[in-house]
Structure 1
């Protein structure tokens, strides 16, 4: 059983889900390993994503774990047999691994949500805006890495620009739209980009205005990526070296609640577009 030196987040997630199924079945790793004719160390490698698992072995485990969720099993099989080498692979060794993991997550996502209070979400950013965001990082990035991060962020937009884009919804606070990352011209261009995307059928942009009474849900930026089934959804949190991916049930539930709250507090899409138009004229 070949092992991987650096498993991707997607590979680790597959192992994590298999471990959850085993735990739910009340079985020890040694018992699951025996079913596969393996030892406990090999089973641990599978559950930590260090080693892969074939479709036949995965289905055998799922049956032994009495998993009756057919959609989940099929989704796990798809993860186990996936051999995609996406555009993000060209950045391996050049950018921190979390950047690549986020790109792979988004590539396979069924939908994407973002909530941001101080910045325009990455998928809606212009190149100049992204450059400004990464330029203010402490400690300062070398010019080569700065350019790579901006380039990578621009390529992430493929999920909302490709022939079969995924549904994308962003809830953005007025503060994020007013804060100038760059000069007046760059700010106008950024607002124009947000408006451009908001006109697409698969993109929804909502604005939370300053004058909203009783709004207390402001916090750090958070994102959410839908999996093939809801159990495989992922929370995306901003981190200095790239987004951190969280899949605990509590975090998933908390973000779903947060998103519905801020969505309910925000302006409707058409009113949000009118609001952004007014901001653009003020610049």
Structure 2
């Protein structure tokens, strides 16, 4: 039975990785289908994420493709089955699919690295800060649309709590801290939240000060999601037309280098907290 609705980013990624294993083995889809005992149409739907695939079937594919990377096989097995009915599913007919894919990525990742120049990362925003941002988008959103986006953003922050929370490393430019989003009171509460979150062992908030000079990248927010194996990592870029997700090896390597360079431009965690405290008093 095909998956209901359009496949999620996670389902598409599983299909893509199985296709990549097949191509690396030098097999056509027809030959691979014959080896694992499925028809051609079934194989095509699996490789685009439109047909649920079982753990046993993934292992059969791995044997047929002579894949010996057990860590990768185990990680792919972990992606099998039907769509996880996470909390984000309640927004399926309300927000664009990329917003749901982002929440699902955050839910399944093991760690995140974020770089942002003019905005505080969404996972660290207060509700009032997020609301002020959504009230200023173009074209304007209706009040219900604003509140749906705010609630979705705040619910995403659950990944930072609990026994299986993902670690978070962020680099934020001083410009983001001085934007004054929502007015002085909202801005002060936002900076106070950043200071409090940065005190946690599993969360790092480092600031690039104005005096640091030039830095790499275009200034667009970057999120690097680490998976259980590096081959399944994903980069998300936040653009004016929505989220863009990248998983090609060259892109992953490029953005790891950019994030490393941004890290080298940032103050230490202690220096960053001191700067944030000064900005809070000045706001």
Instruction: Please report the TM-score for the alignment, with normalisation by the length of structure 2.
Output: 0.96
Equivalent residue, structure 2, for 1:59: 59
Is 218-227 or 67-76 further displaced after alignment? Answer: 218-227
Is 162-171 or 116-125 further displaced after alignment? Answer: 162-171
Matched, 1:205 2:216: no
User: How many residue pairs were aligned?
Assistant: 283
- Equivalent position SS for 1:79: coil
Equivalent residue, structure 1, for 2:264: 264
Is 72-81 or 235-244 further displaced after alignment? Answer: 235-244
| Equivalence map 1:13-92=2 (5 Å) | 13-81=13-81, 84-92=84-92
Measure how far apart 1:164 and its partner are: 3.1
CA 1:240 to 1:272, structure 2 compared with 1: closer, same or farther past 3 Å? same
CA 1:182 to 1:151, structure 2 compared with 1: closer, same or farther past 3 Å? same
CA contact (8 A) 2:216 2:262 kept: no
Structure 2 unaligned blocks of 5 or more = none
Equivalent residue, structure 2, for 1:278: 278
Alpha-carbon deviations, 1:165-202, whole Å to 9, x = none?
21101100001111111111111011001011101110
CA contact (8 A) 1:12 1:47 kept: yes
| Counterpart Cα distance in 2 of 1:127 and 1:3 | 34
| Counterpart Cα distance in 1 of 2:218 and 2:53 | 42
Alpha-carbon deviations, 1:22-68, whole Å to 9, x = none?
11111100011112322222211000001011222211111111111
| Counterpart Cα distance in 2 of 1:15 and 1:120 | 34
Equivalent residue, structure 1, for 2:102: 102
| Counterpart Cα distance in 1 of 2:224 and 2:58 | 27
CA contact (8 A) 1:115 1:223 kept: yes
| Counterpart Cα distance in 2 of 1:7 and 1:152 | 20
Equivalent residue, structure 2, for 1:171: 171
| Counterpart Cα distance in 1 of 2:214 and 2:25 | 45
Equivalent residue, structure 2, for 1:151: 151
CA RMSD across the alignment: 1.5
Is 101-110 or 75-84 further displaced after alignment? Answer: 75-84
Is 219-228 or 243-252 further displaced after alignment? Answer: 243-252
Equivalent residue, structure 2, for 1:8: 8
- Equivalent position SS for 1:243: strand
- Equivalent position SS for 2:210: coil
Instruction: Please report the TM-score for the alignment, with normalisation by the length of structure 1.
Output: 0.96
- Equivalent position SS for 1:113: strand
Measure how far apart 1:251 and its partner are: 1.2
Measure how far apart 1:83 and its partner are: 5.4
- Equivalent position SS for 1:114: strand
CA contact (8 A) 1:112 1:224 kept: yes
Equivalent residue, structure 2, for 1:114: 114
